[in-house]
């Protein structure tokens, strides 16, 4: 379990959500952390319960109005059991790399591919929400472009089947960076490697028409807070960043890959993992017009990798609801409805 009680392994997950009933209990606790209150007449207190496999209907004892636990979530009006949805939500948010529909069907033990496809599609729809807040600020940002998808061999060697993707990632200082550096000097001498002192913060990725200024700059303006320190290579399209209000840290790499990795290690690692994911999970076969959706999914998972519970609630459509009790509270019996 992580500190907030979210399962960090599949066996743990199965212990926390073994049945449809356990899933229903979680939904109820998220919606009514203080205990059930009728949405219609505001009456609080234990309702009548009518469980099915795919939802639970709660009926007010006073006005007899019914409320479905899955109303307003991605699980609304489906026949798939709650436990399958929960399992699916866990897989898409925590498994690296993400799932293809076929892998997903096998893991969920579903007999029909179409069911797996639909569930996966609905869970993913909770991932494509564009993230509008700017990254950077106190954290420096690495920016670079890469080519994604398609194969160049045997097709004239050009890039015409590949798409250009621009990315920006925050470089965050570890809280204990100074201690780590001191410890490293004591044990090994010299400077601690950058990798040990910093980690990747929030990420943004966008498919762009080309590497021209007119395509790269709008992404930077929309994604990075003014005044942030922005690291790029010497590509001419980034020439005007200082005039646009960024603190530009530009390095002419002249094709030296070692220098590039020293200057832009985070974004290069992101691109490398992104390409592996696309090749491995999707066999590189992503249509150009779907690519942005996949980038959004990748960014969603990346940005929430330290917050699996937030990601899980988001894909199930529960994020807009009240702050849930922790799983520990729920399943240790410590959590009780206040009277």
Binding site for Zn ion (CB under 5 A): 38, 40-41, 43, 60, 62-63, 65
CB 322, min distance to Zn ion, A: 19
Measure the CA–CA gap between 322 and 259, rounded to whole angstroms: 48
State the nearest-atom distance from the C-beta of 304 to Zn ion, in Å.
36
Q: Name the maximum alpha-carbon separation found in the chain.
A: 75
In whole angstroms, how close is the CB of 101 to Zn ion at the nearest point? Answer: 41
What is the closest distance, in whole angstroms, from the C-beta atom of residue 38 to Zn ion in the complex?
3
Whether 75 contacts 83, CB under 8 Å: no
Packing angle of the helix pair 291-303, 308-315 (nearest 10 deg): 140
Q: Which is nearer to Zn ion, 40 or 214 (CB)?
A: 40
Cβ contacts of 87 within 8 Å, gap of 6 or more: 13, 17, 107, 108
Q: Find all residues with CB under 8 Å of 331, minimum gap 6, and list them.
A: 16, 22
Taking the complex as a whole, the smallest distance from the CB of residue 71 to Zn ion amounts, in Å, to 15
Q: Between residues 60 and 143, which has the closer beta carbon with respect to Zn ion?
A: 60
Compute the least distance from the CB of residue 58 to Zn ion, in Å: 10
- 62 or 321: whose CB is closer to Zn ion? 62
**Smaller CB distance to Zn ion: residue 68 or 313?**
68
Tokens at 237, concatenated: 């399209």
Nearer to Zn ion, 41 or 334 (CB): 41
Distance CA 300, CA 304 (A): 6
Give the DSSP H/E element, type plus range, for residue 105.
Answer: helix 101-108
Three-class DSSP category at 64: coil
Q: How far apart are CA 278 and CA 97, in angstroms?
A: 9
Min separation Cβ 60 and Zn ion, Å: 3
SS3 (DSSP) at 277: helix
| CB closer to Zn ion, 67 vs 73 | 67
| C-alpha angle 63-67-70 in degrees, rounded to nearest 5 | 175
What is the C-alpha to C-alpha distance for residues 39 and 189, in angstroms, rounded to an integer? 65
- Residue closer to Zn ion, measured from CB, 65 or 162: 65
């Amino acid at each position: 379990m992580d500190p907030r009680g979210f399962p960090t392994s599949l066996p743990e997950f199965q212990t926390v959500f073994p049945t449809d009933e356990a899933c229903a209990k979680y939904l109820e606790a998220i919606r009514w952390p203080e205990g059930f209150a009728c949405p219609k007449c505001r009456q609080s207190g234990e309702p009548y319960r009518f469980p099915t496999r795919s939802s639970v209907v709660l009926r007010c004892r006073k006005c007899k109005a019914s409320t479905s636990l899955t109303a307003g979530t991605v699980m609304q009006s489906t026949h798939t059991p709650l436990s399958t949805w929960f399992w699916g939500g866990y897989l898409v948010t925590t498994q690296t790399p993400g799932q293809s529909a076929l892998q997903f069907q096998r893991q969920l033990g579903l007999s029909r591919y179409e069911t797996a496809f639909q569930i996966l599609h609905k869970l993913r729809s909770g991932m494509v929400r564009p993230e509008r807040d700017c990254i950077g600020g106190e954290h420096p940002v690495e920016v670079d472009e890469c080519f994604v998808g398609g194969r160049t061999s045997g097709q004239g060697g050009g890039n015409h089947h590949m798409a250009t993707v621009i990315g920006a990632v925050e470089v965050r200082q570890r809280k204990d960076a100074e201690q780590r550096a001191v410890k490293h000097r004591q044990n090994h001498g010299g400077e601690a490697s950058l990798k040990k002192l910093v980690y990747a913060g929030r990420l943004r990725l966008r498919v762009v028409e080309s590497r021209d200024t007119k395509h790269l700059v709008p992404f930077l303006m929309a994604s990075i807070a003014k005044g942030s320190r922005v690291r790029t290579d010497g590509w001419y399209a980034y020439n005007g960043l200082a005039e646009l209000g960024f603190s530009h840290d530009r390095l002419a790499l002249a094709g030296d890959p070692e220098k590039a990795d020293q200057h832009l290690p985070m974004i290069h690692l992101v691109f490398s993992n992104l390409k592996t994911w696309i090749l491995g999970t999707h066999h590189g076969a992503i249509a150009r017009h779907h690519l942005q959706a996949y980038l959004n999914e990748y960014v969603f998972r990346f940005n929430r990798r330290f917050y699996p519970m937030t990601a899980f609630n988001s894909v199930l459509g529960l994020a807009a609801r009240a702050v849930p009790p922790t799983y520990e509270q729920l399943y240790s019996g410590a959590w009780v409805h206040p009277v």
